[in-house]
A = this chain, B = another copy of it.
């Protein structure tokens, strides 16, 4: 058995199940992000931006590999563990299909940031081993910083773009929160991880509320950096 599987925190089967669910969720999220970026790359306006987008894609994929490999080390089938989350992410992406290149950029930027924030929040409720994995899986993002210049340039050229993209950003965040609530409602093991058990810390409802407030504030700060009202 691998070191990862011998984690003493896994003596609590509920906690172990919660972690496996979480890794499946994050794994599918990364692959789903790769797909979305691959689509964006096909409509990139230049070879240079195509390369920037593909660079973001490879960064997301390296995070996927970490999560995939950990699931394998735990004796789990990574694809089986990711499958329950496919419908959620696919529905989300279907509902937030970018109409053009700029909307694609904003979406990539907003969700890169939101995912990193969520990883950091959830890390607080994990054992040291799993926490390190999750933090490793969020590092190396930030290649999306080129988006800031591209969006600001587009707004400078045409002011109506700012209004349209601001609305788009609000819609993205709304859809993300609604999908997140459905996931928590449907996947008991995952919500148990947030709420905690006998052997793991957790949040009460007020703490979960505060977490969502922090995520929303960080989103507003990102929109501001893009030059967009949130």
Contacts and interface: CB of A to CB of B under 8 A. Distances in A.
Interface of A: 31, 34-35, 38-39, 41-42, 46-48, 50-51, 54-55, 57-58, 61-62, 64-65, 68, 79, 82-83, 86
B47 A42 contact: no
A54 B50 contact: no
B31 A35 contact: no
Main secondary structure of the interface of A (DSSP, over half): helix
Contact of A35 (B41, B48, B62, B79): B41
B58 A61 contact: yes
Contacts of A42: 35, 38-39
Nearest to A46: B79
Given A39-B42, A42-B39, A54 B34 contact: yes
Contact of A82 (B47, B61, B82): B47
22 contacts: A31-B50, A31-B51, A31-B54, A34-B41, A34-B54, A35-B41, A35-B42, A38-B38, A38-B42, A39-B42, A46-B79, A47-B79, A47-B83, A48-B79, A51-B64, A54-B57, A54-B61, A54-B64, A55-B61, A55-B65, A57-B57, A58-B58
Interface centre among A41, A47, A55 (most CB of B within 10 A): A47
A119 to B, nearest CB: 20
Interface centre among A35, A46, A82 (most CB of B within 10 A): A35
A157 B54 CA distance: 35
A58 B62 contact: yes
Contacts of A51: 31, 64, 68
A218 to B, nearest CB: 28
Nearest first, the 6 closest Cβ-Cβ pairs linking A and B are: A38-B38, A58-B58, A58-B61, A47-B79, A48-B79, A34-B54
B47 A31 contact: yes
